[in-house]
Amino acid sequence: MNIIIIVIIAVLLIAVLLISFFFSQTVREKEKAMVLDQLVPKKSSLPVFRASLVSKHTNPSNKTSQNNKTIPDPSQTEPSQGEQRIECENILTDFRLLTLDDLAPEKISEFRDMALESPRPPSLLNEIINQTPMNTFDAKELANLVGTDPLLAAKVLQMVNSSYFGLSQQVTSVHKAVVYLGYNMVKDIAVQHTLENLFKPDNQTVREASLRFWVASFVASALSFRMAQHYEMVAVSNISTRTLFSYLGNFLILSQDSDHGEVSARGVFERTLLEQERLQANAAILGAILAEEWNLPQIIVNGIRESILPMVSEAQPIQKNDPVALAHLREQTLCYVSCRIGDQVAFQGLRDIANTHLDRPDVPELFYLPSYLKAAGFEDYSDSLKDPKLAIEINKLIVGMLAKNKLQ
């Protein structure tokens, strides 16, 4: 009898332990789901967003998409502008942009390992980036640096002798090419050369996406350089370098995830939303981590980390007696708007920057941009893009870059 009682008690104890175990597992799963729900944007926003993508990422003046398919007339398919604005604001309200501070230490460690496993750039890249690009930079020193890499020297000569410049006489001297191109373009060519050698995708979709990201970054860098000159900003070349590296995280993601190639053609908001659902991070986080591992200047690392912040919140007014904060806002705004135009060129068929439309409250990545342009004192930015001299220069660069990379 005592044995039977002991057996019953033992069975009951085991049952209690099992129930406690399964209950605790359920609680842990719910807690985990709650944490992920806080970190990752609500999935319900994605189908809503996709359903409204009739012409959101297409220039209104351009009736053909990247693959030349006809885009439906927005007036026949889209809700009113007021409804679009409300819908877009709701999408942005539901979305939370992740930053490095949101990630758990083990996740940061995982991404640092990913960056460490990626190929490292040659020291030549840092030497070129760390040149002091004053109005009269040391062309001889820069030419000597370029000359240490025969392939880079060949690319510099190829660029200066391209149809973009239309020179009557061929340039055969690297020094003359550097003097003619200037520091900013030579730097851009060096970065492109480095990224091409580091990230060599075998997948055709990924390869084309990489090329388009490069076109976007090259055009954005050139545009930010010219517009920084237009607004008489200091450290003009630093601004263009920061803009150029804003896409670094996209190259890293493409090298790790071949499926990301198909996502690339979408606007930066949808790219970011999908990145956070898949990776619990985004291109800005990963690009900053990679730049840090590459020992790039801290100003570039910080610039990458902040590169998409204007997408998710309205610009805050800056006090007139705070020139440092104003300078930071102006740089951030110029980099951001240049990259959005670079996206339109590379992925959405924009071929004439005079036709750029930035006041688009139906496009999430452009929703808050007017507030930044106003706070930075760039209210005339869109009008400035219509300047014939600037438009001709950038449009020639667009045609040249697309032809060079065999893109339409």
> Does residue 159 lie within any of the structural domains?
no
Packing angle between helix 298-305 and helix 323-348, nearest 10 degrees? 70
- Identify whether 222 is part of a domain: yes
DSSP 8-state assignment for residue 121: P
Least confident of 15-24, 109-118, 213-222, 362-371: 15-24
The tens digit of pLDDT for each residue in 372-396 reads 999 999 999 999 999 999 999 999 9
Token representation of residue 68: 């030349």
Per-residue pLDDT band at 55 (split at 50, 70, 90): very low
- The pLDDT value recorded for residue 57 is 37
Between 39 and 214, whose confidence is greater?
Answer: 214
7 & 98 share domain: no
d(CA 156, CA 151): 9
Q: What would the pLDDT profile of 219-258 be if each residue is shown by its tens digit?
A: 999 999 999 999 999 888 889 999 999 999 999 998 887 7
Residues 78 and 30 in one domain: no
Note whether residue 223 is domain-resident.
yes
Residue 44 has pLDDT above 70, yes or no: no
Measure CA 115 to chain center: 17
pLDDT at 343: 95
Provide the number of structural domains found in the chain.
Answer: 2
**Model confidence pLDDT, tens digit, residues 152-167:** 999 999 988 988 788 8
pLDDT for position 123: 86
Residue 59 contacts residue 349 (beta carbons within 8 Å) = yes
Same domain, 212 and 307: yes
Stretch 210-219: mean pLDDT, rounded?
92
Percent of the chain with pLDDT over 70: 79
Higher pLDDT, 327 or 64: 327
**Is residue 7 very low, low, confident or very high in pLDDT (cuts 50, 70, 90)?**
low
Among 240, 304, 250, CA closest to 99 = 304
Q: Is position 237 within any domain?
A: yes
Give the span between the Cα atoms of 272 and 303, in whole angstroms.
Answer: 17
Give the pair of three-digit tokens for residue 20.
Answer: 């406690």
Do 13 and 111 lie in one domain? The reply is no
Cα 122 to Cα 198: distance, rounded to the nearest angstrom: 10
Residues 266 and 339 in one domain: yes
Confidence of residue 400 (pLDDT cuts 50, 70, 90): confident
CB 333 within 8 Å of CB 376: yes
Is the pLDDT score of 19 beyond 70? Answer: no
| Containing structural domain, residue 22 | 2-38
Is residue 370 within 8 A of residue 359, CB to CB? The reply is yes
32 shares a domain with 83 = no
Residues forming beta bridges with residue 64, ordered by sequence position: 70
Same domain, 214 and 258: yes
**CB distance 368 to 315 below 8 Å:** yes
pLDDT of residue 61: 40
Residues 7 and 78 occupy one common structural domain: no
pLDDT (tens digit, 9 = 90+) per residue, 58-94?
344 443 333 333 334 444 555 777 888 889 999 999 9
pLDDT in tens, 267-287: 999 999 999 998 999 999 999
Is residue 171's pLDDT more than 70?
A: yes
Whether residue 206 is contained in a domain is answered as yes
Between 95 and 1, residue with greater pLDDT: 95
Residues 8 and 111 in one domain: no
Torsion angle defined by CA atoms of residues 80, 81, 82 and 85, in that order, rounded to the nearest 10 degrees:
130
User: Is 44 inside any structural domain?
Assistant: no
* CA atoms of 184 and 333, how far apart (whole Å): 20
39 or 49, greater pLDDT? 49
